[in-house]
């Protein structure tokens, strides 16, 4: 536990935290947050097609993906990369796995958390992860779970941008300007060598979201300038003193 503000990202596969919220991580790290990434798997089976085509073994793939994830985390300024190594496609969660995630939530005491969209017909690992995050959030809030520990408060859960947003029923409620940290996100993406084809894709995502940032900050008359942005959907209502 720390006096610094903290955030917790739960990423089903090694690279999700890079493509989907690398900018948010880097930005909040610069703002002084300790950002922890819970990386549930290396995405070794389902997100490493290039490596498998090259004939790598499972251990080699995992080792390469692990190195890439760690390099990306470093580029983004991640405070702590917690590797669960649950395996992917499919990702099953034992009670122990879930208790471990509860413990991370309690240790980090995040101001906010991030995870995947609620529905993803292309990728059950993603939607199952979000169910588990919500379950673990409730357990971490329970006074009777490991009594004596500091219980979790009520951190917002942001759902980061999935592939093919409309098919996932994902609707962004907030756009974050990540222009100041774009070079860091770019470096992190370039650390993921197995998925080179996604570099340009997620660069364009960030440019389109910047357009949306401008439109929503100022209408057709302009709005605030922004070159790169990320979008997030909030699950819970906000509590404020001024609108």
Question: Interface residues for its own copies in 93-152 (CB under 8 A)?
Answer: 95, 98, 112, 121-125, 131, 134-136, 138-139, 141-145, 147, 151-152
- String of contacts with its own copies for each residue 168-197, x by CB under 8 A: --xxxxxxxx--------------------
Among 2, 4, 74, 207, binds its own copies (CB under 8 A): 207
Backbone angles phi, psi at 216, to 5 degrees: -80, -15
**Residues 182, 188, 194, 200, Cα dihedral to 10°:** 0
| Dist CA 32 CA 27 (whole Å) | 9
Please list every residue from 50 through 79 that binds its own copies, using CB under 8 A: 52-53, 58, 61
Please list every residue from 16 through 45 that binds its own copies, using CB under 8 A: 24, 27-28, 31, 44-45
CA-to-CA dists, residue 146 to 39, 112, 138, 150, angstroms: 24, 22, 13, 9
Confirm if 36 and 79 have CB atoms less than 8 A apart.
yes
Confirm if 133 and 174 have CB atoms less than 8 A apart.
no
Nearer to its own copies, 84 or 170 (CB): 170
C-beta neighbour count of 169 within 10 angstroms: 13
Nearest-approach distance from CB 108 to its own copies, in angstroms: 15
Stretch that binds its own copies, among 66-74, 76-84, 185-193, 218-226 (CB under 8 A): 218-226
| Dist CA 38 CA 36 (whole Å) | 7
Nearest-approach distance from CB 131 to its own copies, in angstroms: 7
Nearest-approach distance from CB 47 to its own copies, in angstroms: 8
């Amino acid at each position: 536990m720390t006096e610094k503000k903290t955030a917790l990202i739960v990423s089903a596969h090694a690279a999700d935290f890079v493509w989907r919220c690398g900018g948010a991580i880097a930005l909040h790290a610069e703002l002084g947050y300790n950002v922890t990434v819970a990386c549930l798997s290396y995405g070794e089976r389902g997100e490493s097609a290039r490596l498998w085509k090259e004939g790598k073994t499972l251990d080699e793939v995992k080792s390469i993906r692990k190195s890439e994830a760690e390099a990306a985390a470093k580029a983004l300024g991640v405070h702590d990369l917690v590797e669960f190594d649950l395996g992917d496609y499919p990702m099953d969660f034992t009670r122990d796995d879930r208790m471990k995630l509860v413990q991370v939530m309690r240790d980090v005491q995040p101001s906010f958390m991030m995870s995947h969209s609620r529905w993803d017909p292309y990728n059950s690992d993603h939607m199952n992860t979000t169910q588990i995050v919500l379950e673990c959030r409730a357990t971490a809030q329970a006074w009777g779970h490991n009594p004596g520990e500091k219980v979790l408060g009520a951190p917002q859960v942001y759902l980061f941008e999935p592939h093919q947003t409309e098919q996932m029923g994902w609707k962004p409620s907030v756009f974050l300007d990540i222009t100041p940290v774009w070079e860091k996100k770019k470096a992190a993406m370039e650390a993921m060598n197995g998925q080179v084809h996604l570099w340009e894709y997620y660069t364009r995502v960030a440019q389109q979201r910047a357009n949306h940032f401008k439109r929503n900050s100022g209408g057709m008359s302009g709005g605030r300038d922004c070159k790169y942005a990320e979008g997030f959907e909030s699950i819970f209502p906000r509590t404020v003193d001024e609108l």
